[in-house]
């Protein structure tokens, strides 16, 4: 019986819309986090001096520290943005698809 329902889901254009939007979204987000993280790592590997530069005249804090904390904060924010969109917009579409598949 599940297989019948699954077949109806497969036939529903909304399902393909959901899968393509969500897949594209998650791939873009994954690329974002990889660029941020590997960008930071490569910066450390290739330009240690710049990361050690002071933020301003007479200051101690170096450029690398706010950038590093920024990577942590970005990670938290990107994750929560994805969760919010998936749990509202995508889940609503998902529920519609399941409802329609069970109705027919």
Structure tokens, 54: 């002071």
Residues 6+ apart with CB under 8 A from 10: none
Least Å distance between CB 17 and other proteins? Answer: 11
Positions in 14-53 near other proteins (CB under 8 A): 15, 18-19, 22, 26-27, 29-30, 33-34, 37-38, 40-42, 44-46, 48-49, 51-52
Residue from 17, 24, 35, 80 binding other proteins (CB under 8 A):
80
Alpha carbons 35 and 12: distance in angstroms, whole number? 35
Nearest to 12 by CA among 94, 75, 69: 94
Distances (CA, A) of 42 to 37, 48, 55, 82: 9, 10, 20, 26
Q: Which residues bind other proteins (CB under 8 A)?
A: 2-3, 5-6, 9-10, 15, 18-19, 22, 26-27, 29-30, 33-34, 37-38, 40-42, 44-46, 48-49, 51-52, 54, 59-62, 64-65, 68-69, 71-73, 75-76, 78-80, 82-84, 86-87, 91, 94, 97-98, 101
């Amino acid at each position: 019986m599940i297989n019948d329902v699954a077949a109806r889901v497969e036939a529903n254009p909304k399902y393909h819309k959901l899968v393509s939007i969500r897949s594209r979204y998650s791939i873009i987000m994954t690329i974002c986090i990889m660029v941020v993280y590997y960008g930071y790592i490569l910066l450390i590997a290739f330009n240690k001096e710049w990361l050690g530069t002071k933020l301003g005249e007479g200051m101690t804090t170096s450029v690398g520290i706010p950038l590093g904390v920024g990577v942590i904060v970005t990670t938290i924010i990107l994750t929560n943005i994805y969760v919010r969109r998936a749990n509202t917009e995508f889940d609503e579409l998902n529920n519609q698809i399941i409802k329609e598949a069970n109705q027919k």
